[in-house]
Structure 1
Amino acid sequence: MSEDQQRPQPRREIVTGVPRGTRRRPPAHTPARSEISEQTTLGATYVRALMRSQLRAGLAALAVLAVVLGLLPLGFLLPRPVAGPVVWVALGLVAYPVMWLIARWYVGRSERNEADFTGLVTDPAEPPAPRP
Structure 2
Amino acid sequence: MTDDRPPERVRVSGPPRRRTGRAQPRRRHIDAETRLGEIYLGSLLREQLRLAALSLLVLLLGLGTLPALFWWQPGLAEVRLLGIPLPWLLIGFAAYPFLLLVGWRYVRAAERNEDDFTDLVETMDP
| Same fold by TM-score greater than 0.5 | yes
Structure 1 residue ranges, 4+ long, deviating more than 3 angstroms after superposition: none
The answer on whether the counterparts of 1:36 and 1:43 sit within 8 Å (CA) in structure 2 is yes
TM-score, normalising length: structure 1 = 0.67
The unaligned stretches of length 5 or more in structure 1 are 1-23, 126-132
Counting matched residue pairs gives 99
TM-score, normalising length: structure 2 = 0.70
For residue 78 of structure 1, report the CA deviation from its aligned partner: 3.4
Asked which structure has the greater CA Rg, the reply is 1
1:81 maps to a residue whose letter is E
Q: Secondary structure at the match of 1:39?
A: coil
The answer as to 2:45 corresponding to 1:48 is no
The answer on whether the counterparts of 1:58 and 1:106 sit within 8 Å (CA) in structure 2 is yes
Alignment RMSD: 2.4
Looking at structure 1, the residues matched to 39 and 57 of structure 2 have their Cα atoms a distance apart, in angstroms, of 26
The answer on whether the counterparts of 2:51 and 2:110 sit within 8 Å (CA) in structure 1 is yes
- Report the counterpart of residue 51 of structure 2 in structure 1: 57
The unaligned stretches of length 5 or more in structure 2 are 1-19
1:1-132 correspondence runs (5 A): 31-73=25-67, 74-76=69-71, 77-79=73-75, 81-82=78-79, 85-124=85-124
